[in-house]
A and B are shown apart, each in its own frame.
Chain A
Amino acid sequence: MDLVESYREGIRFVRKPLQRALLGALLLALLALPLWGPASWLNRASLVWLTAIGVVGQNLLIGYAGLISFGQAGFLAIGAYAFAHLRIAGLPFLLALAAAGGAAGVAGWLVGFPSLRLKGPYLAIATLAGQFIIEWIINHVTFISGGVQASIEVARPRLFGMVLDSQRDMYYFLLFFVVLATIGTMNLVRSRVGRAFIAIRDQDIAAEIIGINIFRYKLLAFAISSFYAGATGVLYTYFLGIANYEQFQLGVSVDYLAMIIIGGLGSVQGSIFGAFFITLLPIVIRRTMEAFGGVFFEPQTVLNLIPNLRVMLFGGLIIFFLIVEPNGLARLWQITKEKLRLWPFPH
């Protein structure tokens, strides 16, 4: 029923016409969101795209290559500051984006060196150190932080002579990058590089025996994932209008990790699910509590509960997914699809 008949078919993203149609419809709906969705959605959606790019990158490292890192936020910061300086120096946007991503990539490559000797939690601690070192350097070297308040302002993006200043522009701008990142990553994980990552994750000694240069690929995983982080930092800078290291502290790395766990380790889809889910969770909580909270609590209590509920649910969900479904939302989605395919005649 779901047989793949040729290698060409095997490496295709979308195999079935129905899938293709649905994916097309989804893309169209996203493209048309500014037409049908309320204005406040645009901003929230922009935030989802931003996060998704970073999470996809981190999933490459953690989910695919199996290298646990807590340093992602540091690379975001490097991307953001490098970009701010390059823009002020007058570099055009795309060049500055590539260069800032590259700078973060190089930093990631350096931080990746301990990964050659360390594994699991030990590596996580080493990357944690990387995070703090990066933060400290940015905070203390005024040449980088730009002086007062360690914030550098960046002008609105300008593409092909157009200034992107409305929320709608920002939405399309980020949507473009998230599609680019998704397609890029899906291609990457199907390539030799992606398979090498998976082989290293599953059993690094076996991978070495079949001829994968572990040294090279581990560092490559760090570099690529940091490049994504750097690019996210750049886009964040545009979104906020400033590069500010306080925006990229340990909490962000942990949030991203949580999104990967909830979305699904080693899945591009899962990364996007996770970003989507966690970013939208506060809205769902607020709406639900505003609608039904009054039944159980005083209105004042409801208002005080809403922000705390997010934190509680966040922790609860991570534990839930780790125990019940370590492969996250992506796996749940797959199960649903399989069930639906057989429905309504399961036997």
Chain B
Amino acid sequence: MKRTALAIAALALTAALPAAAQKEQFVPANFYWVGPYAPGGSGFGGGIIDYMQLLNERDGGINGVKLTWEKCETEYNNARGVECYERSKKKGPTGATVIHPLSTGITYSLIEKATADKIPVISMGYGRTSAADGRVFPYVFPLITTYWSQATVMVKFMGQRLGGMDKLKGKKIVLVYHDSAYGKEPIPVLTDMSKQYGYEFTAIAVPHPGNEQQSQWLQIRQIKPDYVILWGWGVMNPTALKAAAKIGYPTSKIIGVWWSGAEEDVIPAGAAAKGYISAGFNAPGSDFPVMKDIQKFVYGKGKGEFEDKSRFGSIYHTRGVVAGIVTTEAIRVAQAKFGKGKPITGEQMRWGIEHLNIDDKRLKELGAVGLMPPLKVSCMDHEGSGLVKFQQWDGVRWKVITDWMEPDRKLVRAKVEQDAAQYAKEKNITPRDCASEG
């Protein structure tokens, strides 16, 4: 009898303990592990969780604050994404720190909700491009780079390969795009640039899901373009590469968007993918010091996210690791301001992201030189970098072939501000005055 009472008391104590130990920082893991887009969702999610696990295992968290997370399956579906958000926003001692929706649709659905709840939304390489204007979108961060920046870097890259931007005149560029909102995103930018540089621009749509592209590539054979930009998603990517091989179009003249540039996009195409180039804002590989640490401290202890070890260091995996770095560095910055060793709130996190400055020195300390570009975010600029690298598939792995390349900031920023101003007008938002914010 006494023993039972003791056991109950002990149980009650352990139950009470987590409430007492409030040194936890909760980061929701709302991604997707099923459905057609699972390679992206599980790879990215695996990367961010692996990195947080690394900080817990190696450093004991951030200044002693352990990182915690909970998986929630969004199925890449807006309604479920919102539901996961609602479920996760109050978890942990200070609620959700930040959300990575990993879907443009979910990002759009959360812009208003998260702003009202004061929870930052980070949409790395997707989402609403004009949210880069932090005056109108205080809680939304399309970090590192956006679709529009990427489109301008692609044109620059082609110019470089041709031997100068003036050589673009009279050249032909074709955009093969996924016929959805996502696929149409670069058209205005590429059209504007065609006027500036004098290239002939044609956009060819591929209906979803994109497993039938014969007619599109026959059209390309007639046009004989100097470059083809591939703006695909999922099964559309390997199909495009195979179709290109069939008409004999050289793969080294096809340049893919970063959602067309993962291992999962090229391996199914087999030999047809060899030589294909894609853009990226993160580099693949398992040789970066940070990746070696994850191998040692996380996978070495059997706590890694991937059962299939070949996915370690894949492009989606390192993209998730980059997301982990960005997230935890912002937490660190916020802690330095609001109290070291204490969990921070979403509002403090926003301050942290806006004052994030990951320079070359910091990248070296993190063991992530070359893995991601340097990043400096501000109240005005929620993109923070805009830099893009190019990589080429050699039949076995992606090889990085350029250094970080600058976008056409003037053109992109003008478009961003125009779209943000329109949004502010529709929503009756008075843009923040960044000069008055510390």
Contact = CB atoms under 8 A, between A and B. Distances in A.
A47 B83 contact: yes
B181 A246 contact: yes
A149 B108 contact: yes
B144 interface: no
A43 B83 contact: yes
Interface string B78-115: 11001100110010000000000000110011111100
Interface in A130-159: 139, 145, 148-151, 153, 155-156
Nearest to B84: A43
A324 to B, nearest CB: 27
Contacts of B340: none
Interface in B6-46: 32-34
A149 B128 contact: yes
B105 A246 contact: yes
Interface residues of B, number: 36
User: Which of B32, B104, B423 has the most A CB atoms < 10 Å from its CB?
Assistant: B104
Given A300-B307, A307-B73, A150 B181 contact: yes
B293 interface: no
A300 B298 CA distance: 14
Nearest to A42: B86
A155 B423 CA distance: 12
A240 B34 contact: no
A165 B86 contact: no
B437 interface: no
A334 interface: no
Interface in A151-175: 151, 153, 155-156, 165, 167
A244 B34 contact: no
B224 to A, nearest CB: 27
Given A43-B83, A47-B79, A165-B116, A148 B181 contact: yes
Interface string A301-312: 001101110110
A336 interface: no
B113 A241 contact: yes
Given A151-B105, A153-B111, A311-B34, A167 B86 contact: yes
A311 B254 CA distance: 36
B71 A303 contact: yes
Contacts of A153: 108, 111-112, 423, 426-427
A29 B164 CA distance: 71
A6 B384 CA distance: 75
B19 to A, nearest CB: 17
A196 B166 CA distance: 72
A196 to B, nearest CB: 35
B181 A282 contact: no
A241 B83 contact: no
A136 to B, nearest CB: 8
A300 B34 CA distance: 15
Contacts, number: 90
B419 interface: yes
Interface bracket on A? 35 or more
A304 B110 CA distance: 26
B105 A244 contact: yes
Contacts of B180: 139, 150, 246
Contacts of B264: none
B181 A43 contact: no
Contacts of A139: 179-181
B383 interface: no
B99 to A, nearest CB: 14
B90 A307 contact: no
A149 B182 contact: yes
B75 interface: yes
Interface in A36-54: 39-40, 43-44, 47, 50
A54 to B, nearest CB: 12
Interface in A5-61: 39-40, 43-44, 47, 50
Nearest to A286: B73
Interface in B168-196: 179-182, 185
* 4 interchain residue pairs of minimum CB distance: A150-B181, A307-B34, A43-B86, A149-B181
Interface of B: 32-34, 71, 73, 75, 77-79, 82-83, 86-87, 90, 104-105, 108-113, 116, 128-130, 179-182, 185, 307, 419, 423, 426-427
Given A153-B112, A308-B33, 6 more contacts: A151-B108, A151-B181, A240-B109, A242-B78, A247-B78, A311-B34
30 contacts: A43-B82, A47-B79, A47-B83, A88-B426, A139-B181, A148-B128, A148-B181, A148-B185, A148-B419, A149-B104, A149-B185, A150-B181, A153-B108, A153-B427, A167-B86, A236-B79, A241-B109, A241-B110, A241-B112, A242-B78, A242-B108, A242-B109, A244-B109, A246-B180, A282-B73, A300-B307, A304-B33, A307-B75, A308-B33, A311-B34
